[in-house]
């Protein structure tokens, strides 16, 4: 059976159905936003019988695809009207045509300078019939007063504020197209049935009015039997002019049909997250995905407890179609554990020196992490359990496993990490899959890489102390001292000494320092700036060397300005630290071979 029909309907049939509420919008459709120029453009296209594109409608009546609905902008309905069809694609065109043709009010739009304005739309009848004039030039808009003024408003150059002035100036109001017979009668009466004007009107009616009245729109009707996933996918494919619809917005409309305001609920969640800086980039879709993951986990667990055969158990999943199928009851049940899971995840990240959202290696990895923590509850307070969780986390980061095709990994992570932590089950797939090549350190140059952020956190976790203040880097000093990652051998020095950019800009030559310390470092050789720093800090040689060692640096290489010795030594130290975090041995001779040529992650502004 076909999932859609393709047909044609007259423009005025469509607009009348919009007016009566037979055609409405799903609540996930964003507001009407067309500006004055685009409105005049679509009117001109219809006047010239040019195509304006197909309109896609969705049949209502499917209980599985219920949305909260709203009338098209400008429509006034008497009471609640259940629509027969919803606009999936064509909202801007239909709304523009409805407001200009069917509404008896001025149209609120925007001018070329993006100011909100109110406009009435007219067709200059003389220009419309002039063979040397493009019809597009005949479509004009006037302010709410229906007067065009010049000389700072002192002189009126066009006044259409009364019907008589419209007749006199031969300006046809677009909102009278569907009532053209009454306007024609008054027009002819005004001109005392002058033969020239009667002929003028007949020509205008034949060329312009009839173009509107006979205009046919291609219509694609998506049948009500289509599943929610198909509706969402179709909308994304056709809605090229707007922002991509996501699962949260579609569920917002679905839940609204049961009087649950998902947007308001998300605002409540965001207000709780504000106190936890690593969660600043968590999105509403991340919440839906984590809730879906948790809901399907418990669904499978319940079925398994009922001795349902393995091959008949529901899958643990959080793919798009499953997110769209998340029931309101499941959302309400698992929403709070997931929110608490994200908050616990944030606290654990801070414990591991990931203090802000920009330093979270993979925001995507927070989704399974929150679900895992929702299941573990207070069990995560066990030191051994937390150590295992972080081993999984670091394997995901340094294995760079959460950049794409992540939903399948999420579905494996949740049961496998839980079983591994609580029951000493098999090692999770993510840990098994994680590999880190030593050569990768050379290509980690900016925060665009999850592994770069991971090394940054491990450097702080190693007990790094600021070179000037000698304070350890914790959450308070991180923000108070404006900590960031800075070059050890300064860029200016490296360029003077012919050090390749690929080396001096890599994570191996960077470390967390306060902005004040970095200013003192400047562009000098390490042997010079270290003397200045030690003097400012007022420390002895041994104590200052201990501070340098806390950054996985052998001070001797810095004092002798030996970049190559420093580079190779620190690379090894960082690799050992990564090994400890992943709980896996890194083969030192391994060379990472990838298709193509590595072009870096420039620009680097650090």
Cβ distance 320 to 247 under 8 Å? yes
Structure tokens belonging to residue 128: 């419309």
Rounded to whole angstroms, the Cα distance separating 570 from 566 reads: 6
User: pLDDT above 70 covers what percent of the chain?
Assistant: 92
Q: Based on the fold, state whether residues 252 and 316 are members of the same structural domain.
A: yes
Q: Give Cβ neighbours of residue 268 (< 8 Å, ≥ 6 apart).
A: none
Spacing of C-alpha 245 from chain mean position: 9
Which of 392, 427, 462 marks a domain boundary? Answer: 427
Q: Which tokens belong to 435?
A: 């590999």
Query: What local confidence, expressed as pLDDT, does residue 150 receive?
Result: 79
Average pLDDT in the chain: 89
Domain assignment present for residue 209? The answer is: no
| Residue where a domain terminates, one of 405, 427, 449 | 427
How many residues are there in the chain? 606
DSSP structure class, residue 523: T
pLDDT tier for residue 210 given thresholds of 50, 70 and 90: very high
Rounded Cα gap, residues 10 and 331, in angstroms: 43
The residues, ordered by sequence, that sit 6+ positions from 174 with a Cβ below 8 Å of its Cβ are 43, 100, 101, 121, 122, 123, 139
Please spell the DSSP secondary structure of 17-57, one letter per residue. HHHHTSEEEETTSPPP---HHHHHHHHHHHHTT-----EEE
- Quick one: pLDDT at residue 5? 77
Does the pLDDT value for residue 336 go beyond 50?
A: yes
Q: Does residue 593 belong to any structural domain of this protein?
A: no
Distance of CA 463 to the CA centre of its chain: 36
Residues 401 and 454 in one domain: no
Check pLDDT > 60 for residue 244: no
Structure tokens at 411: 């579905």
27 shares a domain with 158: no
The pLDDT value recorded for residue 603 is 43
Residue 567: pLDDT above 60? yes
Total-model pTM: 0.71
Q: Say if residues 521 and 529 touch (Cβ distance below 8 Å).
A: yes
Is 294 in the same domain as 408? yes
In this prediction, residue 238 carries a pLDDT of 57
| Exposure string for 555-566, b = 16+ CB within 10 A, e = fewer | bebbbebbbeeb
Show the domain range for 349: 246-427
Residues 11 and 151 occupy one common structural domain:
no
| Same structural domain, 396 and 502 | no
User: Is 138 in the same domain as 14?
Assistant: no
The Cα-based distances of 488 to 25, 311, 359, 512, 548 in angstroms read 58, 56, 20, 9, 11
pLDDT by residue (tens digit) across 66-122? Answer: 778 889 999 999 888 899 999 988 889 999 999 999 998 999 998 776 778 899 999
3-state secondary structure of 281: coil
Domain identity same for 22 and 146: no
Q: Can you give the pLDDT at residue 554?
A: 96
Give the pLDDT of residue 166. 96
Identify the three-state secondary structure at position 532: helix
Indicate whether 598 belongs to any domain: no
Are 336 and 434 in contact by the 8 Å Cβ rule? The answer is no
Cβ distance 514 to 481 under 8 Å?
A: yes
Can you tell me the distance from the alpha carbon of 583 to that of 396, in angstroms, rounded to the nearest whole number? 12
Assess contact for 313 and 304: CB atoms under 8 A. yes
Quick check: 546 and 479 in contact, CB under 8 A? no
Any domain includes 66: yes
pLDDT value of residue 604: 43
Q: Does residue 606 form part of some domain?
A: no
Residue 228: phi and psi, rounded to 5, are -60, -40
pLDDT at 241 over 60: no
Hey, which residues does 510 pair with through a beta bridge?
A: 487
Query: Is 346 within the bounds of a domain?
Result: yes
Number of domains in the chain: 4
Are 192 and 220 within one domain?
no
Task: Give backbone dihedrals phi and psi of 385, rounded to 5 degrees, phi first.
Answer: -65, -40
What's the average model confidence in pLDDT over 159-168? 96
pLDDT value for 237:
58
Query: Is the separation of the CB atoms in 518 and 454 below 8 Å?
Result: no
Reported as a single tens digit per residue, the pLDDT across 435-489 is 999 999 999 998 889 999 999 999 999 888 888 888 888 787 788 778 888 999 9
Angle between helices 328-351 and 284-305 (to 10 degrees): 110
Q: Do residues 128 and 74 share a domain?
A: no
C-alpha to C-alpha distance for 432 and 447, rounded to whole angstroms:
25
Asked if residue 509 belongs to a domain, the reply is yes
Residues 535 and 445 in one domain: yes
One domain for residues 80 and 119: no
DSSP 298-348: HHHHHHHHTT--GGGSPPP---HHHHHT--HHHHHHHHHHHHHHHHHHHHH
Would residue 604 count as lying in a domain?
no
Instruction: List the one residue out of 354, 341, 344, 348 whose CA is nearest residue 475.
Output: 354
């Amino acid at each position: 059976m076909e999932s859609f029909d393709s047909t044609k309907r007259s423009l005025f049939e469509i607009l009348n159905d919009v007016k009566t509420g037979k055609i409405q919008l799903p609540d996930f459709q964003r507001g009407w936003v067309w500006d004055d120029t685009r409105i005049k453009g679509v009117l001109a296209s219809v006047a010239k019988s040019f195509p304006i594109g197909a309109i896609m409608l969705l049949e209502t009546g499917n209980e599985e695809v219920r949305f909260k609905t709203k009338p098209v902008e400008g429509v006034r309905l008497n009471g609640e009207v259940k629509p027969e069809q919803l606009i999936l694609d064509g909202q801007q065109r239909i709304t523009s045509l409805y407001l200009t043709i069917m509404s008896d009010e001025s149209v609120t739009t925007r001018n070329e300078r993006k100011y909100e304005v109110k406009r009435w739309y007219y067709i200059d009848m003389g220009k419309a019939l002039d063979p040397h004039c493009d019809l597009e030039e005949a479509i004009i808009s006037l302010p709410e007063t229906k007067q065009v003024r010049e000389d700072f408003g002192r002189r009126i150059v066009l006044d259409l504020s009364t019907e008589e002035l419209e007749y006199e100036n031969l300006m046809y109001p677009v909102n009278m197209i569907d009532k053209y017979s009454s306007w024609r009668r008054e027009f002819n009466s005004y001109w005392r049935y002058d033969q020239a004007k009667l002929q003028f009107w007949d020509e205008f009616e034949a060329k312009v009015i009839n173009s509107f009245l006979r205009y046919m729109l291609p219509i694609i009707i998506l049948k009500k039997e289509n599943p929610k996933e198909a509706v969402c996918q179709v909308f994304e494919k056709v809605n090229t002019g707007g922002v991509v619809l996501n699962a949260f917005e579609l569920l917002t409309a679905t839940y609204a049909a049961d009087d649950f305001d998902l947007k308001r609920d998300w605002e409540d969640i965001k207000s709780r997250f504000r106190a936890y800086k690593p969660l600043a980039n968590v999105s509403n879709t991340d919440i839906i995905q984590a809730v879906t993951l948790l809901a399907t986990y418990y669904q499978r667990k319940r079925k398994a407890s009922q001795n349902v055969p393995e091959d008949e158990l529901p899958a643990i999943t959080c793919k798009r179609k499953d997110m769209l199928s998340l029931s309101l009851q499941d959302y309400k049940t698992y929403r709070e554990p997931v929110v608490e899971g994200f908050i616990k995840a944030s606290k654990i990240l801070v414990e591991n020196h990931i203090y802000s959202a920009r330093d979270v290696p993979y925001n995507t990895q927070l989704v399974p992490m929150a679900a895992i923590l929702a299941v573990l509850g207070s069990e995560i307070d066990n030191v051994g359990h937390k150590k295992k969780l972080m081993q999984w986390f670091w394997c995901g980061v340094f294995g760079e496993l959460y950049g794409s095709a992540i939903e399948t990994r999420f579905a494996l992570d949740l049961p496998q990490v839980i079983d591994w932590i609580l029951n000493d089950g098999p090692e999770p797939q993510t840990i098994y899959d994680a590999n880190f090549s030593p050569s990768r350190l050379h290509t980690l140059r900016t925060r665009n890489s999850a592994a770069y952020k991971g090394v940054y956190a491990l450097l702080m976790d190693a007990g790094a102390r600021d070179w000037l203040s000698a304070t350890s880097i914790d959450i308070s000093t991180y923000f108070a001292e404006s900590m960031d990652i800075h070059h050890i051998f300064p860029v200016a020095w490296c360029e003077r000494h012919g050090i390749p950019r690929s080396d001096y800009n890599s994570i191996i030559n960077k470390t967390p320092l306060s902005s004040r310390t970095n200013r003192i470092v400047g562009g000098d050789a390490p042997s010079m700036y270290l003397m200045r720093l030690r003097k400012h800090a007022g420390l002895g040689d041994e104590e200052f060397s201990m501070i340098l060692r806390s950054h996985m640096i052998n001070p001797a290489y810095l004092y002798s300005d030996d970049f190559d010795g420093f580079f190779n030594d620190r690379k090894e130290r960082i690799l050992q630290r990564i090994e400890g975090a992943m709980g896996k041995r890194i083969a030192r001779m391994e060379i990472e071979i990838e298709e193509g040529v590595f072009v870096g992650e420039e620009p680097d502004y650090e």
